[in-house]
Chain A
Amino acid sequence: MQKIPLNLATAEMVLARDIFKNDSPTGMPICGKGTELSDSLISRLQQMGVQSLYVEGHPVWQEGDRGLTEQLADLEKRFSKTMDNRYNTTLLEVYRTHFTAAMGDDGGRTEE
């Protein structure tokens, strides 16, 4: 899941969270989680003044973003002092699975 500003949203991205009116959790829900974006939906959201939204995977890359491989390497470095603790190795596994899933099916950055 990734939070992106609306101007970077493109058709076929899938909403990872509901969109609320005025970006407020107490506002009315406009569009539900799981909805696939289309050009017309995006322009409607623009008209409603929606600023940002949550989409599945990690479709937008910017300077300084870390790909899955780098993220997993960082993760392992953070756990390097406690690999002899079985609870920590369990937690490492949980995090490894989570990071991999969160970056989407393609496993993150595609090389150019």
Chain B
Amino acid sequence: MKELLVLSGKGGTGKTSLTASFICLAEKAIACDYDVDASNLPILLKPVDPKGHEFSAGLTADLDKDICIDCGLCRDLCRFDAINSKYQISTLSCEGCGFCAEVCPVEAISMSERPSGRWFASMSDQDGKMVPLFYAELRPGEENSGKLVAQVKSSARQKALEEGYSLLISDGSPGIGCPVISSLVEANLVVIVAEPSVSGFHDLKRVRELLALRGVRSILLINKWDLNPEASEAMEKWAQECDIPCAGRLPYSSELAAAVAVGEVPVSRKELRDLILPVWENIAKTLEKQN
């Protein structure tokens, strides 16, 4: 089984629209959305009959005011200002460290599991081709530890194993933190989607730094290259120096923006399909060579 992960330092580079396109162009693949913070792949792939599962991560403190003797110890020791003067604990601020529960002289505080979100297993109908889709929704304000990403990934891989899929295409989470690191586990190739701008180049370098650290191979795809042809060229040159192959460049396309705005997978339109197909073929070829 191989996993192709699509990343970009930041959102807004067209990463999700391209991931959805690759999923539709691939002969047979499982789709995963690791952007559990704001999952957008389902908007394009329109899952039918998703099955939701509760997910919890870490702990949170609960204080029983009937037992509390107003000693103030917990409040003084909590480093996260989670306990206010009325001994109310803010779940949003509570880090779940358990310091308060440990020191409370009358055991008024207990730690409980922290409901953090939900993950979904679903199917998406792409012109008669049924694509399994796994995604999740983190609750607002919860920490994105990467555990939910790991959950989505292991459920998808399980399904792949059971039903003989040999390819996983996943939409990575933005940034370079924990969720991205979880996304990278067992990925065979990363497509870095980058925009040719000052900040886009900066983001590209940071992603590559992380990939180098984890020893994961990557391939570069420049999106909206014509916004800044000089920067596109500089990026390609840089990639060559870093031994990163290029999958190609895609121009800015108002057609693509229009398709996505109404929730259509870009490659469902012929013009866009012709544009994206060669890039996908390059990626697929490179992926084949990875182990």
Q: Are A and B bound to each other?
A: no
Residues of A within 8 A of B (CB): none
